[in-house]
Amino acid sequence: MGITGLTKLLGDHAPASMKEYDIKHFFGRKVAIDASMSIYQFLIAVRQDGSQLTNEEGETTRKEKREEAQKELDKAEEAGDEENVEKFSRRLVKVTKEHNDDCKKLLTLMGIPFVEAPCEAEAQCAALVKGGKVYATGTEDMDSLTFGSSVVLRHLTFSEARKLPIKEYQLCKILEDLNLSQDEFIDLCILLGCDYCDSIRGIGPKRAIELIKQHRNIEEIIKHLDKKKYTVPDDWLFKEARKLFQEPEVTDPEKLEVGKQLINKL
């Protein structure tokens, strides 16, 4: 679900790294879109008829939980809180293999190229950006920056419907304004909280950026951390998370041709 609190941290410490544009600004550019969030949002839209939602076992979920999740989702969308938009979207629906297969078939019939990521979609999108195949990653997950995408676009897939500007984040500007290297930024994101390991309870965005700037990596932070105040998780997998961000499993962009697919199957 991205990096906890990173959006606010960048707003406080690197505001110049984000600029807002109308969608027309990106006409003619190639963008790698993380489709998973769009699929969740579409499924939520088609569920508005009131049909029952089920869990992985096919059991009908409690109506109260669905209603509460929908309320929280509405609040998050109104506030522009992308992290909670994804969080509560995932509580409302389950994306199946059939959904993904249908989307791939639709994209093929429309002549839109797609890449099936071997691991994380955000990592594959970042690799396409770094490989010069596309201009940016279009996603609501801020960990695309942690994977090294030099440009990240948020609100791209729903800006017109909700009349929201597209937010463009420039990684080089983020690193410059925070005075961090990419590896230090990765450690900052792990401290904030990522999908791949626990974080240190009690260390929020303000304290995390202070610690990284002072000690420059997690190993040094642990050495100097007040153990009476903060508890480092047992068997903390921060090194594994770091390696995943630094060396994710992706398809080599040089082996991919990102262009229009001329397929006549209609």
Residue listed under structure tokens 């695309």? 144
- The secondary structure of residue 60, as a DSSP letter, is B
Strand order in the sheet with 31-33: 18-21, 166-170, 151-154, 136-138, 31-33
Number of domains in the chain: 2
Residue 49: predicted pLDDT: 47
Same domain, 124 and 233: no
Give CA 40 to chain center in angstroms: 13
Give the global pTM: 0.82
Q: Are residue 50 and residue 147 in the same domain, yes or no?
A: yes
Tokens representing residue 244 in the block: 């995943």
Judge if 105 and 203 occupy the same domain: no
User: CA end-to-end span of the chain, whole Å?
Assistant: 36
Same domain for 186 and 167, yes or no, is: no
The DSSP string of 219-257 is HHHHHHS-TTT--PPTT--HHHHHHHHHS-----GGG--
> What was the pLDDT predicted at 259?
60
| CATH number of the domain bearing residue 231 | 1.10.150.20
Domain boundary among 152, 175, 198: 175
Q: Are residues 91 and 22 in the same domain?
A: yes
Residues 49 and 74 placed together within one structural domain of the fold: yes
- Element (DSSP H or E) covering residue 176: helix 171-178
- State whether 112 and 195 are in the same domain: no
User: Residue 1: inside a domain, yes or no?
Assistant: no
CA distance to 31, 143, 208, per residue, from 193 (Å): 27, 10, 10
Same-domain check for residues 239 and 169 = no
Q: Measure Cα distances from 247 to 111, 148, 229, 243, 250 in Å.
A: 31, 10, 33, 6, 9
d(CA 35, CA 115): 10
| Token pair in block for residue 145 | 């920056």
Position 246 scores a pLDDT of: 98
Within a domain: residue 264?
no
Shared domain for 36 and 51, answered yes or no, is yes
* Residue 237, domain extent: 179-246
Domain termination residue (choose one: 150, 175, 200): 175
262 is a domain residue: no
Please classify residue 63 by burial: count the beta carbons closer than 10 Å to its beta carbon, then call 0-12 exposed, 13-18 middle and 19+ buried: exposed
Q: Are residues 89 and 114 in the same domain?
A: yes
Q: Both 161 and 188 in a single domain? A: no
Read off the tokens for 194. 């990522």
Burial letters for 222-260: b for 16+ Cβ neighbours within 10 Å, e otherwise? beebeeeeeebeeebebeebbebbeebebeebeeeeeee
Same domain for 14 and 32 = yes
Q: For residue 65, what pLDDT is reported?
A: 64
> Each residue's pLDDT tens digit in the chain (266 positions)?
689 999 999 999 999 999 999 999 999 999 999 887 778 777 765 555 444 445 555 554 445 666 777 788 778 777 667 667 766 766 667 788 999 999 999 999 998 999 999 999 999 999 999 999 999 999 988 999 999 999 999 988 775 666 789 999 999 999 999 999 999 999 999 999 999 999 999 999 999 999 999 999 999 999 999 999 999 999 999 999 999 999 999 999 998 876 655 444 44
Query: What CATH number has the domain bearing residue 12?
Result: 3.40.50.1010
